[in-house]
Amino acid sequence: MKIKPTNIINQKLIGLKVKIVSLYDNLPKWKGKIVDETYNMFIISDETSKKLKKIPKKGNLFAFYVDNKIIEVNGKILIGRPENRIKMKRKY
């Protein structure tokens, strides 16, 4: 299934390019590629330094780059196990 703004929440996010739009005040903003995902965090490979960074889902807004489009998603709705989130049915 192709990733669209209406179904991105139910898709596998590992491998997507992402930019963290809003973070807690004490953290800088990052861009990179999602390399892993846990219940509460994304593990992102930083574009410039190639270091892995753990970014909490809660409290952040993520801009995913899909087919030359930007899809912004509140991290709060991404909280949960990735395998369970993919199976969930949501009304849009």
Question: What is the pLDDT at residue 92?
Answer: 47
- Return averaged pLDDT per consecutive 10 residues of the chain, 92 residues in all: 75 90 68 93 88 90 90 90 73 50
Tokens found for residue 90 = 């949501």
Query: Are the C-beta atoms of 7 and 63 separated by less than 8 Å?
Result: no
Structural domains of the chain ordered from first start: 8-87 (2.30.30.210)
Question: What is the pLDDT at residue 89?
Answer: 64
Does this model's pTM top 0.95? My answer is no
Phi, psi of 55 (to 5 degrees): -120, 125
Residue type, 10: N
Question: What is the pLDDT at residue 27?
Answer: 60
Beta strands in 1-92 (DSSP E): 17-22, 31-37, 41-46, 52-56, 61-66, 69-74
Cα(28)–Cα(52) distance, rounded to whole angstroms? 14
Query: Are the C-beta atoms of 18 and 36 separated by less than 8 Å?
Result: no
Tokens found for residue 44 = 């992102």
